[in-house]
Structure 1
Amino acid sequence: MFLKPKIFLSSLALLLSFASLFLSAWIILPAPNMFLLTLAVGAPEVSPWLLLLNLLFLLLSLFYIRHRKLQRLVCIFSLIGLLTCGWVLVNIPPTQMQMAKAMKQGLGANYLEQIPVKVRAKMQTHSFDLANFFRGIPLGKTRHQKDILFASPGGVPLKMEVYQPSEVGKYPAVVVIYGGAWQYGNTHANSEFNQYIANQGYTVFAIDYRHAPQYQFPSQLDDVRTALNFIRKHAAEYEADSERMVLLGRSAGAHLAMLAAYEPDAPPIRAVVNYYGPVNLTEGYKTPPNPDPINSRAVLKAFLGGSLEELPNRYQIASPINYLTHPLPPTLLIYGSRDHLVQARFGRQMYERLHDGNTAVFLEIPWAEHAFDAVFNGVSNQLALYYTERFLAWALFRQ
């Protein structure tokens, strides 16, 4: 026996509105496992799309659905979804103001005036652009080289990708280190970001490193150092200025970037950009997030070769927060308040320690989860990108 067309369509609307609510709910719900973490990362970043979807089902419930019970359910689901998505959007303006204030506090009220006009002219004019959200952020034309072998430790080939502006020249270097719990990932990660930054007037090096658990710390740090030495040696070949170099990492890559720049024997680095990176592995092991979708203690054991009880000194040596005893490069830290892999409190703790004697900026995005910039034109990445490009320009071009 078949449902009548109107009942069928109303039931379908109910099902779809529930699905939209389910997706929207991960804007506020903490993810208990890796599958749901993907939804929790993506949902706030595509909240304008989800808002439109919830609004569509609300209008359908009001003007099309005639079955009272189904109409009421669709309306409830849609309203909850709208409120959830709306929470992200209404928080954008105060977050923009907070970030602008943090940049001025960290770099100086006139930091933008220190950036050449020609460099400023290429930057995004708004920290969030709804048109860019729907159509995508323009990347510009760049040159791209892949599979550049820079080392083979123990017979493991390590390669990098290089992104360059379209015109031949000599440009500041941005070395990008991908994340992935020190266990996975590749140099092609976040390629849109690399292309965008190259188009802004930088030579971008996306470097590789060996993965845990087969290779444990400090193998990854050794590989980053080897890559930096290679870049300095071959800087002219890739049109890079070895005297103007920034390290930028995400998650595990941010951890490696900080260590590579902060250790007493580190090469000269102009600045560090840390996207949601672990900074205190000892405390991270003692107090893992709850819920803990990646089993943080297991990840740390695989990376360092054992538990905190077994290897307390190694946890201490591998924690960037323990290297703040001498002048350090300016550091930009960007974290999400809802990060359930690397909690924002660690970034804040790092900022407070850095700020006492060093230049540092801490930006926190209220609705963002870990890896929020996976959606390049998403809400959080637009904010992060806007201030990252200003920080890079200040660090590498300031007059």
Structure 2
Amino acid sequence: MPYLLPGWRLKGRDTTRMATQALLNTRRLIGAALEHAPGLAVNAAARFQPHRLLPGLAYGPEPRHRLDVYVPRGGATPFPVILFLYGGSWSSGNKEIYRFLGAELAARGFLAVIPDYRVYPAARYPAFVADAAEALRWATEHALRFNADPGRVFVMGHSAGAHIAAMLAFERRWLAAAGVGRLSGVIGLAGPYDFEIDTELLHGVFGGPENRRRSQPLAHVTGNGPPMLLATGEADTTVLPRHTRTLAAAIRSAGGEVETIFYPHIGHREIIGAFSPLFRFLAPVAADVSAFVSTRRARAANTVDADGSGRGWHERL
């Protein structure tokens, strides 16, 4: 039987009620932490992780063309590069909120680059996709400066950021315009990949239903895209898990390479909050991302690929 504290036992409905309340409390805590992260413990804990932070570097001329770089301290070099694109409904967000994520990636031996990008109403689609491509160009061109490998570059996004990452993966004009070659891999966390433009906000961001097809990652899927890891929480009610399943099925049908992970009882914010040491117990998201990137490193070095067995929760496509 479950134990909460030594000598405490819960049975039946008591167990379910307590577990449900604990999950709700955790979700509220993560939500508050992500909204006010620059001043809360979720980012304060990042100070104790081994990394060097270089904040506010310019990758373009606009005020929001700034990025933060998290450099590992020690570890095998050259480091793989992970560019992280945060979410915020294409209308909000800032890189300082995600210091816990940059520090976690650096502690795992990756050069983490987290850019701001233009958002609505100051910018509309496709400005934020173009910004992401420019940030990727900067990361690739400056990788050697940080003992990182410009030939092993990954893009990871959460929510709206996962949408942007998928657009970079499949609509090749963005990478071509930025002078960036093929990506080593793309990681999408709780991303919307095929949605209706049916709200006032989405009309503002994307310009109306006439832009629906060209603004959707699903419409651009080909079999020659980069390897992808698509992960989501089964309890996500903000961006439903069907988005992950639908995009993965399309990639598989086209002959592409994709792996999916569905985390039980995890919602939209928990999947990103789990990168913090404070919430790592929720799901092994950081470990799964690390394994995905490391697997591609092994292939580049002509070593044996990991089979991912024993981690549970995985559906390989």
Structure 1, 260-269 or 180-189: larger mean CA deviation: 260-269
Equivalent of 1:348 in 238, 245, 250: 245
1:391: how far off? 0.5
Partner Cα separation in structure 1 for residue 281 and residue 80 of structure 2: 26
Give the structure 2 partner of residue 246 of structure 1: 154
Partner Cα separation in structure 2 for residue 213 and residue 385 of structure 1: 32
Give the structure 1 partner of residue 31 of structure 2: none
Structure 1 residue 52 and structure 2 residue 11: aligned?
no
CA RMSD, Structure 1 to Structure 2 (Å): 3.0
Structure 1 residue 158 and structure 2 residue 82: aligned?
no
After superposition, what is the alpha-carbon deviation per residue over 1:4-37, rounded to whole angstroms, capped at 9, x for unaligned?
Answer: xxxxxxxxxxxxxxxxxxxxxxxxxxxxxxxxxx
**2:193–2:216 Cα contact (<8 Å) kept:** yes
Aligned pairs for 1:87-166 within 5 A: 140-153=49-62, 156-166=63-73
Partner Cα separation in structure 2 for residue 380 and residue 359 of structure 1: 29
Where in structure 2 are there 5+ consecutive unaligned residues?
25-44, 176-180, 304-317
Partner Cα separation in structure 2 for residue 83 and residue 230 of structure 1: 45
Give the structure 2 partner of residue 281 of structure 1: 195
2:116 partner amino acid: D
Equivalent of 1:363 in 248, 256, 261: 261
Partner Cα separation in structure 1 for residue 23 and residue 130 of structure 2: 44
Q: Sequence identity of aligned pairs in percent?
A: 23
Give the structure 2 partner of residue 386 of structure 1: 287
So what's the TM-score if we normalise by structure 2?
A: 0.75
Count of matched residue pairs: 267
Where in structure 1 are there 5+ consecutive unaligned residues?
1-47, 60-74, 89-135, 287-296
2:106 partner amino acid: A
Cα distance change, pair 381–144 in 1 and its aligned pair in 2 (3 A): farther
Partner Cα separation in structure 1 for residue 100 and residue 190 of structure 2: 19
Partner Cα separation in structure 1 for residue 146 and residue 79 of structure 2: 9
**1:149–1:160 Cα contact (<8 Å) kept:** yes
Specify which structure has the bigger relative contact order, considering alpha-carbon pairs within 8 angstroms and separated by 6 or more residues: 1
The structure where helix makes up a greater share of residues is: 1
Give the structure 1 partner of residue 185 of structure 2: 271
Give the structure 1 partner of residue 80 of structure 2: 172
1:305: how far off? 2.6
**2:222–2:256 Cα contact (<8 Å) kept:** no
So what's the TM-score if we normalise by structure 1?
A: 0.60
**1:221–1:259 Cα contact (<8 Å) kept:** yes
Give the structure 1 partner of residue 168 of structure 2: 260
1:298 partner amino acid: E
Partner Cα separation in structure 1 for residue 23 and residue 267 of structure 2: 15
Partner Cα separation in structure 1 for residue 188 and residue 84 of structure 2: 10
Structure 1 residue 396 and structure 2 residue 305: aligned?
no
**1:247–1:257 Cα contact (<8 Å) kept:** yes
